Copies of this chain bind each other. A is one copy, B any other.
Amino acid sequence: MPHITIESGKLTDEQKRTLVERLTAVSSEVMKIPPEFYSITIHEIDDASYGIGGKCIDLVKQEYMEKHS
């Protein structure tokens, strides 16, 4: 306890390490619970499986590229 779940796009291992370290530190400080009690899972969702405002992100990116190429 507590458990934090992150749904995001593709991340590098370096980004994941920094996120786990710093999100744990901030949460521990704010909740006054020792860091060792925290667990964090990162779910990398590909663009075709992530929708924002009714559109999948791969489509949003594709349209952006077509408009700006």
Residues of B within 8 A of A9 (CB): 1-2, 31
Q: Count residues of A near B (Cβ-Cβ below 8 Å).
A: 50
Given contacts A2-B6, A41-B7, contact A51 B24 (CB under 8 A): yes
30 A-B interface contacts by CB (under 8 A): A1-B7, A1-B8, A1-B9, A1-B52, A1-B57, A2-B6, A2-B7, A2-B9, A3-B39, A4-B4, A6-B27, A13-B56, A13-B58, A16-B51, A17-B55, A17-B56, A17-B59, A19-B26, A20-B54, A20-B55, A21-B55, A23-B26, A24-B53, A24-B54, A26-B26, A35-B54, A37-B53, A39-B50, A41-B43, A44-B49
